[in-house]
Amino acid sequence: MFNHLIEIIIFIFGMCVGSFANVCIYRLPLSQSIISPARSFCPNCKAIIRFYDNIPVLSYLWLKARCRHCSQPIPFRYPLVEMICGSFALCTFLKFGFSFECLIYFVFITSLVIITFIDIDHQIIPDIITLPGIPISFLASFVLPSLTYKDSLLGLLAGGGSLLIVGWIYYLIKKVEGMGGGDIKLLAMIGAILGWKGVLFTIFIASVTGTLVGIIIIMRSQKDMKVPVPFGPFLSIGAITYIFFGPSLMSWYINLLR
């Protein structure tokens, strides 16, 4: 019973973090402060949202997905992000328990959730997350038991360097930018916290999922074969998959080849 109560508290805490993530997703691309104003406001009428209208998920249901002041629809993305962050908070707790490892990975995953939705909406990956995220991820290697500082450094170089080379080759062939600088910094951050093995795994998963989704989007669009598909969400999927299942999947695959 006590364990279930702890899990519920962790999930609620994660949803509250998800509410803050929504603030970041909305404000960062607009170069607005995520601190001031401290209270959330309606993007449409700019009315300050009262605390009882800002309870994760529940307020969305209570208000019937509409702003109390202007009655404009509240995007489903808001409770979705809260539920996603709540789920990841619980999953990291169940995997790593009460530990610095759990806290570090949850903060990292939350940053990936923010990056994913910003990249989907605006096709950009904010430097304000990735640039400080790279050295912070490297410093995390001194705390994480599964990562050494050497692996972190190799991962950083492999992550940033691999996409930089791919982008450079694509430019030489097509004479257009094929890999955004944001993706390069993101994979460098991922490599710094997951190591070089995590980079290889992330690139593989991102390439497979990105290709499949890209094909589906192109088939549905039909008219335009050059539909831009942000790569950041797929890198995030690959990195998160590695945190929870990477080593097990890699061992399974290696044994399969024997």
In tens, the pLDDT along 190-215 reads 999 999 999 999 999 999 999 898 88
Lowest mean pLDDT segment, chosen from 22-36, 109-123, 126-140, 151-165: 151-165
Bridge partners, residue 148, by sequence: none
Tally Cβ neighbours within 10 Å of residue 130.
23
Q: How far apart, in whole angstroms, are the C-alpha atoms of residue 35 and residue 23?
A: 9
Identify the burial level of 69 via C-beta atoms within 10 angstroms of its C-beta, where 0-12 means exposed, 13-18 middle and 19 or more buried.
Answer: middle
pLDDT given for residue 71 in this prediction? 87
pLDDT given for residue 223 in this prediction? 58
| 63 φ, ψ (degrees, to nearest 5) | -85, 0
pLDDT tens per residue, range 143-194: 999 899 999 999 998 888 777 776 666 556 665 555 567 888 999 999 999 9
Structure token digits, residue 24: 């970041």
CA 128 from chain center: how many Å? Answer: 14
Report residue 250's pLDDT band, with 50, 70 and 90 as the boundaries: confident
Tally Cβ neighbours within 10 Å of residue 161.
15
Q: How far apart, in whole angstroms, are the C-alpha atoms of residue 93 and residue 15?
A: 14
pLDDT tens per residue, range 74-96: 999 999 999 999 999 999 999 99
Residue position matching structure tokens 């539909």: 227
Contact 214, 229 (CB under 8 A): yes
Report whether pLDDT(254) > 80.
Answer: no
Identify the burial level of 30 via C-beta atoms within 10 angstroms of its C-beta, where 0-12 means exposed, 13-18 middle and 19 or more buried.
Answer: exposed
Percent over 70 (pLDDT), the chain: 90
pLDDT given for residue 21 in this prediction? 97
Percent over 90 (pLDDT), the chain: 59
What pTM value is reported for the model? 0.90
Pick from 198, 242, 235, 243: which is nearest to 94 by CA? 243
Structure token digits, residue 129: 């997350």
Instruction: Give 189-202 as a DSSP string.
Output: HHHHHHHHHHHHHH
Domain ranges of the chain: 1-98, 100-258
pLDDT given for residue 180 in this prediction? 62
What is the three-class DSSP state of 32? coil
